[in-house]
Amino acid sequence: MRKISRRLTRSLATALVAAGVVVTSAVATTTQASAHHQLGSRSLATVLAADGDTFDHNWNDYDVLTNAVGAVLAAKPNSPVKVLANGNVPLTAFLPSDRAFRLLAKDLTGKWYKSESALFSGLAGVLGVDTIEAVLLYHVIPGATIDSRTALRSDGATLKTALPGGSIRVDVISKRFRIVRLIDADPNDRNPRLNRCALDINKGNKQIAHGITLVLRPLDI
């Protein structure tokens, strides 16, 4: 497991070298291009904060994700992750639930964590801040407010992520039942699906999000 962690850190840290420049440039361009849209400016960070960041017994919310964002910004205040707090910047984020992170931790560590707090500590110890930052950026699509209706019409589309060089492919399995799969960079593991019970979070604003069932993986682990 330590070899996996080191490989993850090396590969993702390389991609992060240019992250500040690349993401900042994209943000400036897309903000200007989207100025005419009549959408609100409530940020996703505001939405996540409203639910609280306290670890609990509900594995279907986003406490691990919220704490991961907080940990990255505490260690790296100028991280590109801070775009989630700027509601004037259009983006789409895919939000892994606490259960999704629990499954990732099981793959990486072999442990089945019984509490969210232990899970977060375990992942932080295995991955480190830089790798967590890269994983978070891989879940953000800058410059596009993609609602679920648009996603269902986007079969085969490739989405470029805020992690430089990262991309996700959209696979619409069923329009009728709103089943959408996201194909990530790891060909050997299951791909996440949009959570049909958690679509269009923060709808009506420039920043929108959709819950997903697994954590997107930016490389083959």
Are the C-beta atoms of residues 191 and 184 closer than 8 Å to each other?
yes
Query: DSSP secondary structure string, 58-119?
Result: -TTS-HHHHHHHHHHHHH-TT-GGGGGG-TTS-EEEEEE-HHHHHHHHHHHHS---SSHHHH
pLDDT value at residue 37:
62
**What percent of the chain stands above pLDDT 90?**
78
Q: Give residue-wise pLDDT tens across range 32-65.
A: 444 436 899 999 999 998 877 789 999 999 999 9
pLDDT value at residue 182:
98
The answer for residues whose C-beta is within 8 angstroms of residue 164's C-beta and 6 or more apart is: 15, 16, 18, 19, 22, 23
Residue 197 clears pLDDT 60, i.e. is over it:
yes
Say how far apart CA 188 and CA 169 lie, in whole Å: 15
10 or 106: which leads in pLDDT: 106
Instruction: Grade residue 2 by pLDDT with cuts at 50, 70 and 90.
Output: very low
Tell how strand 140-142 and strand 91-96 pair up: antiparallel
Q: Give residue-wise pLDDT tens across range 111-142.
A: 999 999 999 999 999 999 999 999 999 999 99
Q: What is the mean pLDDT of residues 10-35?
A: 41
Q: If phi over 0 gives left and psi between -120 and 50 gives alpha, with beta otherwise, what is residue 143? A: left
Extract the tokens encoding 93: 């984020």
pLDDT value at residue 118:
97
pTM: 0.85
